[in-house]
Amino acid sequence: MKKVIMVLPLAILHLIGFAQVDVYPSHWWTGMKNSKLQLMIHSPNIGKGSTVTIKHSGVFIEKVNKVESPNYLFVDLNISSAAKPGSFKLQIQNQGKAVTLSYELKQRRLGNGQQFAQGVNSSDFVYLLMPDRFSNGDESNDRITGMKDQTLNRDSMYHRHGGDLQGVINHLDYLQQLGVTTVWMTPVLENDMPNRTEHGYAFTNHYKIEPRFGGETAYKSLSNALHKRGMKLVQDAVYNHVGIHHFTVVDPPMKDWLHQWPRFTRPNYKDQTLFDPYVAEIDRKQQADGWFTREMPDLNQSNPYVANYLIQHAIYSVEEFGVDGWRIDTYIYCDLDFMNRCNKALSDEFPKVTEFGEVWVTGTVNEAYFTRNNLTTSFKSNLKGVTDFQTLFQGILPALKDGNANSLYQTLSNDILYKNPMMNVIFLDNHDMTRFLSQVNEDEEKLKSAIAWLLTCRGIPQLYYGTEILMKGVSNPDGLVRSDFLGGWKEDKKNKFTEAGRTDKENEVHDWTMKLANFRKSSSAIKTGKMTQYVPQDGLYVYFRYDASQTVMCIMNTGKTNRSIDFTRYVERTKGFSKARSVTDSTEINLNDKVNMPSNKMWVLELIR
């Protein structure tokens, strides 16, 4: 079989004078805590014999870096506290020719930590959506001339469907009424790839917002619209890889911009190799440096130029677009020392911003290693939270699918490993896995129990779009987990955003979600309170969320038969209370009585003195 050689030669173009000159970041700000800025300047032969000069008070060139490719210059600037906002000229002399660029320093955005960069925490309810599949608010951007993917076919799960950021803006009323406080979208950066661009994880230019979503203008409009409502925005970040058509892959600045292999090499998908005390170095290297797919080459984050490019882009995104939280894709495949640097750089500029990483592993020890933890290890992560796959796969899913409530109890007992388990993002499903309703054989009562658990357990709840209206689908082979939210396209015959457009069953689950989510908004016990859980008995799992002002009792019957509940077992938490009121239907229960609870149900009860 013919070998595929992955070493990418440097592009050397012999052009006279300067063609288009691109500068990254495209602009910056005064008043940053870190005064250092590294400009990447990209143009054919820009680095041949070049000198760079700047004339702007308080801005100094520390170093001009010429790298392997003549098509790049990296210019290290120091933007002192004396620098004022405004544009200045950056002049490049190259072999007797000159080009003058205008570069702008802006005033920093007001409201750091209050109006943006607020962070996402256990008081929030996050809604994950795919812009291409949620709603088409602007048909003029469905296809963009010159882009590689010109598909527009809603009959295929693997083509573009036309959803965009204006579509999200159009339905913020729906989300806010549902009880959502925070919107997380799959990536919104440019993905100029030939196919499968609906998911967005193969960036081709970090400094362009996907034009088929509406570009920078639409992204800023969405951010502003969310913040005006008191809602938040989470950006989906990818540090591990880019798309094969990213400009730094097509024309790499240097050979080690990417991790190079003699032939295509995937990760070994063994996260243990990153903390195994007996690991073979070749196994650790393959996990950290392997290419995610042939179309997604692996960035070399130990290269200081790559690191600067990625860290500066993260800061740029929060400042430019008013991002509040940062979800980090494929965290376990990244260079972890780099990730600590990047997380710290964000926190230095935006003290309240929070990051949570995708940590798709098996085992709570494995998961805890990648976030702030209580483990005694040489590497200590500063990541504030993770996507908590353990409470899903080892907790709520076996509890409801198989009736094994002990699995949920045991998984949560391992919270001793985390510095702050309340910062972990708990969820039922996402765009990469079979929807929860399909996992539990389309049992709506089990889904309702799962949603009740999601909105009352410790951590930050995240709901995948459409779960609240009984959307189903398996991840393979049909990809129906990424179906459209009906009503988001003008040609849709049904509008699931409205009560009239939903079936009775869909409205039942929607209203169940809405009641619990809006109760959660005003529940100090659930948002920030403590948790006590009791050892399950015959499928009956009981836990409490409480603080000085409120106590909420959660009862889940995962068994196949009805259960009699004797409240005296829970006197540690019920003492001083006489009644309990159902959050979902206002039914009151006398705590001195024994109560019969049907199988396959969950109750959320607020205790009353």
Segment (H or E) for 400: helix 397-401
Q: Is 45 left (phi over 0), alpha (psi -120 to 50) or beta?
A: left
Upper half-sphere CA count for residue 414 (Cβ side, 13 Å): 19
358 is catalytic: yes
| 234, 182 Cβ separation under 8 angstroms | yes
Catalytic residue among 124, 289, 349, 358, which? 358
What phi, psi does 189 have (nearest 5°)?
A: -80, 160
Are the beta carbons of 133 and 170 closer than 8 angstroms? no
Cβ-contact 94, 110 below 8 angstroms: no
- Inter-residue contact 607 to 553 (CB < 8 Å): yes
76 carries an active-site annotation: no
Any idea what DSSP says for residue 164?
Answer: -
- Residue 84 three-state SS: coil
CA distance 159 to 195: 7
Tokens representing residue 74 in the block: 């990296």
Q: Residue 251, Cα to own-chain centre: how many angstroms?
A: 29
Instruction: Order across the sheet with 28-29: list the strands.
Output: 28-29, 97-106, 86-94, 50-54
Please tell me the distance from the alpha carbon of residue 267 to that of residue 63, in angstroms, as a whole number. Answer: 36
Q: Which of 319, 324, 329, 367 is catalytic?
A: 329
Neighbouring residues of 186: CB distance < 8 A, sequence distance ≥ 6: 128, 129, 130, 131, 199, 200, 201, 236, 431
CA distances in angstroms from 278 to 272, 274, 283, 363, listed in the order given: 10, 10, 11, 18
* Residue found by looking up tokens 């979208």 in the block: 185
Of the candidates 188, 180, 265, the residue with the CA atom closest to the CA atom of residue 226: 180
Q: Give dist(CA 502, CA 509) in Å, integer.
A: 10
What separation in angstroms does the CA of 267 have from each of 240, 283, 379, 432? 12, 9, 21, 18
Helix/strand/coil for 333? helix
Instruction: Kindly provide the b/e burial profile for residues 572-583, where b requires at least 16 CB atoms within 10 angstroms of the residue's own CB.
Output: ebbeebeebeeb
Which residues are known to be catalytic?
Answer: 329, 358
